[in-house]
Amino acid sequence: MPCSRWWPPGCGWRWLNRRVNEQKPLDAHLNQRGQQIVGKRFTLDTALVNGRGHMRVGDSSWPVVADDDLSAGTRVEVIAVEGITLRVKAC
């Protein structure tokens, strides 16, 4: 059998595995809602006490944390996501 037509056992699987691992997702933030809102600005509905509270984003309520206490009505920017908590700063 000519070498060009002969495949050693396992070569096809290695090639397929490499192709799958090299593929990049079209949207790396798909199903990562927190990552999708980093950099966006919102208005606090309730005050942050001891730097903690909740903020409405769309139809969801997210736990938020900030370095300072912030009053209701303050415009904030989401600067990071820590687990399921949004880190915000006043803007």
Residue whose entry in the numeric block shows the structure tokens 């903690």:
52
Structural domains for the chain? 30-91 (2.40.50.140)
Q: Please compute the mean of the pLDDT values over residues 50-78 and round it to a whole number.
A: 96
Percent of the chain with pLDDT over 70: 76
Strand partners, 89: 77
pLDDT tier at 1, thresholds 50, 70, 90: very low
> What pTM did the predictor assign?
0.65
Nearest alpha carbon to residue 86 among 35, 27, 31: 35
* Closest C-alpha among 62, 58, 68, 55 to residue 82: 62
Q: Look at the chain and count its residues.
A: 91
Q: Which residue do the tokens 């600067």 mark?
A: 79
Residue matched to tokens 């933030």: 29
Backbone phi, then psi, for 14, in 5-degree steps?
Answer: -65, -45
Greatest alpha-carbon pair distance for the chain in Å reads 78
